[in-house]
Chain A
Amino acid sequence: MGTTAQYDATAGRVIIDEHQGHPGIKSTTLSYGQINDEMLAMLDKPRPSYYLLLLGFLMALGLGALSLAIQVDVGIGYSGISHPIGWGFYITNFVFWIGIGHAGTLISAVFYLTRAPWRTAIYRSAEAMTVFAVFTAGLFPLVHIGRPWLAFWLIPYPNERMLWVNFKSPLLWDVFAVTTYMSVSIMFFMLGLIPDLAILRDEAVRKGKKLKALVYAPLALAWRGTNHQWVHYMRGYMIFAALATPLVFSVHSIVSWDFAMSSVPGWHTTIFAPYFVAGAIFSGLSMVLTVLIPMRAVFGLQDYITNHVIQSVAKMIIFTSVIVGYAYGAEFFIGYYSGSPFERAIFYYRPFGEMASWTLLGDNEINFPQIAFWLMVFCNVIVPIPLWRWKIRNNPLAVWIIAALVNVGMWFERFNIIGSSLQHEYDPSAWGEYWPTVVEVGITIGSFGFFFTLFTLFAKSLPPMAIMELKEGTNPPMRNAAKKDTDE
């Protein structure tokens, strides 16, 4: 509810003033009508700059589509993936995008259950990002297998040879985890949209826009906002939040087991699940800020996405950055403490390259994994440190720069894990080297184009903020307003 909470030391309890709103979120003092009008204004006819932005993303998407067409035509050999490096840019992108998809559900489900008031203004966009990021991630296993038209072999269906998929394989767990996560994220997103689509329908009726009303009416699923509908809806929403919470943690744990269940040095470790989950939340929240800070400036949403909201997300970024930084250190310690020469070798290789010389600046050839490692450490551990200062957290531009760099760092973290271990497994005669080819870079750029195209279209076609929840969070219209405290 939209309240100001103040601690009254004499009374020994928190006093809630329902008529001043949340101190850090100005939108909690707006009226229902104002919220409606301001949110619907965001869906007005876009300016030319919007189309220019969309064109840029579409061009990136086109580049990706062209690259994919070349790869499908020539074959997977056109990519840099070759023995012993079976997983390259594509699986890096898969893990990266799945990670990006974690913030939405975290914000919409976990922070819903914990009643964090700052989530209201950003959860719809974050949820949309989740859906689009999981769509993007879902493309990469298809791209990676080389013959995407045979992807249905991953699904357990009765076939003429009576063969079944292997349910003991982490890769199949991934199929189930990612498809479940995608399905639940889409349903959660749609569920949240229903009352807002009814608002769009009724506003179109009120303003005499018949075509819009015709479009929104079936999408609103006959929503009227009756108490009978609300009581089922709120129960259902709570169940979705409760389901999505363990799902968030399970999905990236399962993705991490794609690696940890194997016996590859640098992968076979028990910290992978929490390490991946923390990294996913870290990158997802950074992507949320990377997208929402410019959106706030473009749409003038300072009353909704306030500095308090940005600071709250920034605090979560600090928290997950510390976990990720600790995990980096723990990996090295375990590599050393295990006594396994293979583990020690891979953790020497990641930062310093070949162990040909024992001097750091000897004849070591710096390769792609070393670049990835140092970028990862710099962007994920060093760059977020300034966020500990209130002044930096309170500066949206500074937070945006940090968040954007964290995204870069998290991409390289995924590559650091995948690329380096496969290049240097056990037998030196089976070591290899990996550099991506132009099609892999093209498809990677295309994936960003795909994600941002979808998000740009979303921002102008559906309410990017949950109008219903913003109203729920603001002061209700009262004829006889009275100050209440928590005892009432």
Chain B
Amino acid sequence: MSKFTGVWAIFEYLDETTETIEQVRKKGVQPTVITPCPRHEIDHALGNPSSIVPWIALAFGALGCFIGYSLPAWTASDWVLPVSGKPILAIPPFTIIGFEMTVLFTAIYTLAGLAILGIIDSFRFPIPNAAKKYPRFQRDRFGVVVRCDADKLDEFEAIMKKNGAEEVHVEKG
């Protein structure tokens, strides 16, 4: 990510991180925040971002449901097995297969969706290599990454420092 231009900082405290996020957003920039665990405070400061994962789950769940009903219906019609005059296309037993396929498809494609969105987001919201290599973000530190034009670097650096950042790094890609 050698082309990255912006500022990134390391914070020890959550309240200082959220304060920084809010001030950065007031300047019209949406920062990327790195945290050791999910925190609602961060979500609130970022304006409660949404995800399209539920839509992926819904779409593929519907596909799974369709396959779950149509596979037994098709096979029952393809090889007719009459038993005691019972219906060939029987909805109650097929509902079990329909339910299981709905769950299976939703789960598989939710996981696949998460992986693909992760790849897409890494291009949409790049973070500098040095921030990627900083090993304490998964442990006990918060990171705020601001991608901005070169003329705004000082402004964001000042915000980070003012809010108590442990380290502030300026990247001029």
Once the chains bind, are B107 and A184 in contact (CB under 8 Å)? yes
Tell me which residues across on chain B come within 8 A of A180, comparing CB atoms.
100-101, 103-104
Once the chains bind, are A176 and B96 in contact (CB under 8 Å)? yes
Chain A facing B: main interface SS = helix
Chain B facing A: main interface SS = helix
- Residue tally, chain B, CB below 8 Å to A: 67
For residue B49, CB closer than 8 A to chain A, the reply is yes
Report the minimum CB–CB distance from A281 to chain B (whole Å).
19
Say whether, besides A227-B46, A240-B107, A32 and B135 are in contact (CB < 8 Å). no
Tell me which residues across on chain B come within 8 A of A227, comparing CB atoms.
32-35, 42-43, 46, 49
Once the chains bind, are A250 and B99 in contact (CB under 8 Å)? yes
For residue B75, CB closer than 8 A to chain A, the reply is yes
Among B76, B81, B140, the residue within 8 A (CB) of A33 is B140
- Residue tally, chain A, CB below 8 Å to B: 63
Question: In the complex, which residue of chain B has the Cβ closest to the Cβ of A204?
Answer: B135
Among B33, B37, B136, the residue within 8 A (CB) of A226 is B33
Report the minimum CB–CB distance from B34 to chain A (whole Å).
5
Stretch of A53-61, A228-236, A282-290, A344-352 on the interface side: A228-236
- The complex places the Cα of A478 from the Cα of B40 at a distance, in Å, of 14
Report the minimum CB–CB distance from B82 to chain A (whole Å).
11
Report the minimum CB–CB distance from B43 to chain A (whole Å).
7
Report the minimum CB–CB distance from B95 to chain A (whole Å).
10
Once the chains bind, are A164 and B100 in contact (CB under 8 Å)? no
Task: Bits for B66-100, please: 1 = Cβ < 8 Å to A, else 0.
Answer: 00000110011011010100100010011011011
Say whether, besides A202-B136, A202-B137, A221-B118, A471 and B53 are in contact (CB < 8 Å). no
For residue B2, CB closer than 8 A to chain A, the reply is no
Among B15, B72, B96, the residue within 8 A (CB) of A478 is B15
Stretch of A72-80, A111-119, A166-174, A450-458 on the interface side: A166-174
Once the chains bind, are B36 and A468 in contact (CB under 8 Å)? yes
Tell me which residues across on chain A come within 8 A of B104, comparing CB atoms.
180, 183-184
Report the minimum CB–CB distance from A466 to chain B (whole Å).
10
- The complex places the Cα of A165 from the Cα of B75 at a distance, in Å, of 8
Tell me which residues across on chain B come within 8 A of A325, comparing CB atoms.
none
Once the chains bind, are A232 and B117 in contact (CB under 8 Å)? yes
Task: Bits for B13-36, please: 1 = Cβ < 8 Å to A, else 0.
Answer: 111100000000000000011111
For residue B162, CB closer than 8 A to chain A, the reply is no
Once the chains bind, are B53 and A239 in contact (CB under 8 Å)? yes
Once the chains bind, are B139 and A199 in contact (CB under 8 Å)? yes
For residue A480, CB closer than 8 A to chain B, the reply is yes
- The complex places the Cα of A183 from the Cα of B53 at a distance, in Å, of 19
Among B16, B38, B42, the residue within 8 A (CB) of A233 is B38
For residue B121, CB closer than 8 A to chain A, the reply is yes
Once the chains bind, are A195 and B138 in contact (CB under 8 Å)? yes
Scoring B75, B86, B101, B115 by chain A CB atoms within 10 A of each residue's CB, the highest score goes to B75
Closest 5 CB pairs of A and B: A167-B72, A32-B140, A164-B75, A471-B37, A206-B135
> Can you add 12 more A-B contacts, CB < 8 Å, to A205-B135, A480-B15?
A36-B140, A162-B79, A166-B81, A225-B35, A228-B124, A230-B38, A230-B42, A232-B53, A239-B53, A477-B14, A478-B15, A479-B16
- Interface residue ranges, A against B (CB under 8 Å): 1, 31-33, 36, 156, 162-168, 173, 176-177, 180, 183-184, 187-188, 190-191, 195, 198-199, 201-203, 205-206, 221-236, 239-240, 243, 246-247, 250, 254, 468-469, 471-472, 476-480
- Interface residue ranges, B against A (CB under 8 Å): 12-16, 32-43, 46, 49-51, 53-54, 57, 71-72, 75-76, 78-79, 81, 83, 86, 90, 93-94, 96-97, 99-101, 103-104, 106-108, 110-111, 113-115, 117-118, 121-122, 124-125, 127, 132-133, 135-140, 164
